[in-house]
A and B are shown apart, each in its own frame.
Chain A
Amino acid sequence: MAGAMPKFEFSFKQGENAAATSADALQTAVSVSGLNFFYGTRQVLHDIGIEIHRNRVLALIGPSGCGKSTFLRTLNRMNDTIEGARHSGQVLIDGENIYAPTLDVVALRKKVGMVFQKSNPFPKSIFDNVAFGPRLHGVRDRSKLAEIVERSLSQADLWTEVKDRLTANGTDLSGGQQQRLCIARALAVGPQILLMDEPASALDPRSTAKIEELIHQLRANYTIIIVTHNMQQAARVSDVTAFFFEGRLVELGETPELFTKPMERQTEEYITGRFG
């Protein structure tokens, strides 16, 4: 299958023997090869190989339990907290093995931010929510913090809505605003990569549209990997889409191609709603 997809800007590697593609000219943000993942004795990811390039949006789609969220969480080692979780294979971010024993996991999560399905602002002020990460990483200067808060809220398209009430509690915002606050909080520590696990699934259509527009704007500065069950959303927001099924990467392709002319029958059956 890898040989049939040389034009993809994300190269698609099965295992560790995949050939290089013409896309190598693009800067690689994440390089995954031969990744297997287990919860105890149960293997949930099989031989995953993907290269994710900078400033691109990758959507992960597939039926529930296909391994897409597990894959997402391997990229900032969120699975480390699950007992019995183990992996084999390699995940490189900026060429650095993120599973190396010497790796600083806190620094990794600063570089690889995450936004979850359910917005989870801290029961603190809007300002303190955004300033939380920078403070944790040692920023103490008030004016520096204020600058980070304004920039992060602006990037999350929330600044104009909350600039006059930064001391209000983050939990008082609407659902859509809370999710954008969480995005601002993730951006405040200066990540390079943003992982989004169904970031708009609990939002109304208007708030969803705002998040999608935001993803579009953020791709200028960040690499974004998004898990979504909403096929139309994947089609709208991403440059590249990966279809997972039963822990395997079935197909990876440029989003417009994958949604009009998928190469694999399983992908076609899934995106047209004929199974899964």
Chain B
Amino acid sequence: MKHLDREIDRLKAKILSLSSLVEENVTRAIKAVVEHEIESAKAVAQSDDEVDRLEVEVEEECLKVLALYQPVAIDLRYIIAILKINNDLERIGDLSVNIAYRALELSPQGVSPDVWALVEDMTSRVRQMLSSSLQSMVNLDAQVARNVCAADKEVDQLNKAIYRKLLNLIKADPTHADNLLLVLNTSRNLERIADHVTNIAEDVIYMTQGEIVRHGRALL
């Protein structure tokens, strides 16, 4: 095994630690929203420092590999992709903290069951997308990554549907507007998580196939 392979293995271990922590935080934040689990919400906020610390470590590791080994081809694409995925994971971590904080204040008051059903649908889709994108990163599976990119559209549509329904509810009866805006905020944060998850999947496609598929370029 050459030096660079050892460094890449070390980097893999770190990005995996960060991935599992962020995935766990998203799960906890969603649990806090859906089941109104206060302890889960607190746990997300508490572990965010660890997410930030790991993100800095991964970045430093990537910079070190770039400076010392000047990787090319698949090695270069791997490091560049990890550098970007690292950034997305940290942002997903921040968004899960936002969701967790909103969950502390959120109550079912004024939220119609159909809106709640859409929010729950969105949470399960976002969790599934995150899990698949991380799987595609670990297994270097571009096809799984492409499926993740395709799934983002459905989450966008759910977010829009929730927005329209909440708008109508507030217009009809503004009594619970504060609470409904918290739901809107949660939906928006979930949608943004899905965007970052899509970025991760796009980076996996670049990593494995050298193809840049951002901005709708040759996605499917």
Contacts and interface: CB of A to CB of B under 8 A. Distances in A.
B74 interface: yes
Interface in A219-276: 231-232, 235, 259-262, 267-268, 271-274
A260 B76 contact: yes
Contact of A260 (B2, B4, B73): B73
Given A273-B2, A273-B4, A259 B73 contact: yes
A232 B68 CA distance: 12
A54 B55 CA distance: 47
Interface in B194-220: 210
B59 interface: no
B71 interface: yes
B12 to A, nearest CB: 16
Interface string B73-85: 1111100000000
A235 B72 CA distance: 10
B70 interface: yes
B70 A268 contact: no
Interface residues of A, number: 13
Nearest to A259: B72
Interface residues of B, number: 11
Given A260-B210, A261-B210, A268 B73 contact: yes
Nearest to A234: B72
B88 to A, nearest CB: 21
Contacts of A259: 72-73, 76
A268 to B, nearest CB: 5
Interface string A90-104: 000000000000000
Contacts of A271: 72-73
A272 B72 CA distance: 6
A36 to B, nearest CB: 30
A272 B74 contact: yes
Contact of A261 (B2, B70, B73, B75): B73
B78 to A, nearest CB: 10
A271 B76 CA distance: 11
Contacts of A261: 73, 77, 210
A259 B76 CA distance: 9
Interface in A175-227: none
28 contacts: A231-B72, A232-B70, A235-B72, A259-B72, A259-B73, A259-B76, A260-B73, A260-B76, A260-B77, A260-B210, A261-B73, A261-B77, A261-B210, A262-B73, A267-B73, A268-B73, A268-B74, A271-B72, A271-B73, A272-B4, A272-B71, A272-B72, A272-B73, A272-B74, A272-B75, A273-B2, A273-B4, A274-B2
Interface of B: 2, 4, 70-77, 210
Given A272-B72, A274-B2, 18 more contacts: A231-B72, A232-B70, A235-B72, A259-B72, A259-B73, A259-B76, A260-B73, A260-B76, A260-B210, A261-B210, A262-B73, A268-B73, A271-B72, A272-B4, A272-B73, A272-B75, A273-B2, A273-B4
Minimum-distance CB pairs A-B, first 9: A261-B210, A259-B72, A268-B73, A271-B72, A272-B75, A272-B73, A232-B70, A262-B73, A271-B73
